[in-house]
Amino acid sequence: QVQLQESGPGLVKPSETLSLTCSVSGGSISSNSWSWIRQPAGKGLEWIGRFYTSGRTDYNPSLKSRATVSVDTSRNQFSLKLNSVTAADTAVYYCARNLPSSPYFFDYWGQGTLVTVSS
């Protein structure tokens, strides 16, 4: 059973960089692609970006190149960095595995971590 767990600061100051890590257990991070998704309080879901095992990454253009997703295979973890944050980046952030047979969908999710952007 694949399990994902997000970790990182719950409070980030405006203009600084949000950094989150997703630890994966029950499966190798090298054999799948992985995504970050966020959800502002009371609102819908927004896909942030994805890391493929090939090293390729894709991002939501709405983030205007502020996001970076990377993988640490030695720790079986992947990370999200979002720079120049504003209050609009306040949300619950989820890490997720892309469905192996069709890596456009998200089959396993972490429990989510709330990140608040405030001074």
Partner 1 sequence: DIQMTQSPSSVSASVGDRVTITCRASQGISSWLAWYQQKPGKAPKFLIYAASSLQSGVPSRFSGSGSGTEFTLTISSLQPEDFATYYCQQANSFPYTFGQGTKLEIK
Residues that bind partner 1 (CB under 8 A): 44-47, 58-62, 94, 99, 102, 104-112
Shorter beta-carbon distance to partner 1: residue 6 or 85: 6
Shorter beta-carbon distance to partner 1: residue 15 or 111: 111
Shorter beta-carbon distance to partner 1: residue 44 or 55: 44
Q: How far is CA 31 from CA 8, 57, 62, in A?
A: 24, 15, 28
- E strand residue ranges, the chain: 3-7, 11-12, 18-25, 34-39, 46-51, 57-59, 67-72, 77-82, 91-98, 106-109, 113-117
Shorter beta-carbon distance to partner 1: residue 42 or 55: 42
The minimum distance between CB 62 and partner 1, in angstroms, equals 7
| Cβ atoms 46, 118 nearer than 8 A | no
Number of alpha carbons in the 13 Å side-chain half-sphere of residue 103: 15
The minimum distance between CB 105 and partner 1, in angstroms, equals 4
